[in-house]
Amino acid sequence: MTEYAVHQQDHPVAIRVPVGEFTSTGVADTTDYSVLNKSEITRRGEGIALLGLGNFYHLANQVADELAKDDINATVVNPKFASGLDEELLEELKANHSVVFTLEDGVVEGGWGQRVASFYGPSNVRVKNYGIAKEFHDRYDATELLRENGVSLEQIVADAKQILSV
């Protein structure tokens, strides 16, 4: 990503570095960053799609693992770009998903997940956004702040089970 950003001349590039520990998937990144706003489906399921932006891609996988214990096979998407939406992929998800959860390690209000919700607005797909409230957070424990905002593995799994049982 850095190499692409330094050598391309078409537009500005911002590389967002997540807070906290780096977690590797163990898979080499072969993304062509010159093709903007293309996401990657890394796990195919149906009913519910988990879109984990940035550091929360790993949380989306953890949620999918927990749901699989109850025979709920979620789709997991790595958005790869916070700057825009992969509308083609989002359109594709409509075929066999009724619920989309967006997980982002940032502010929900005006965030990436709300753009996803706006995309699905005129459709029957329900969207739930996870992130933190738009407030000034001073001297906080990140895990506790997320939990206070309903962003924990347990809460997301419980919400998914409740929504899917309706």
pTM: 0.84
Is residue 135 classed as helix, strand or coil in its secondary structure? coil
Q: Tell me the pLDDT tens digit for each residue of 35-75.
A: 889 999 999 999 999 999 988 999 999 999 999 999 999 99
Six token digits for residue 162: 């409740």
Q: Is 38 exposed, middle or buried (0-12, 13-18, 19+ CB in 10 A)?
A: middle
**Residues 6+ away with beta carbon under 8 Å from 26:** none
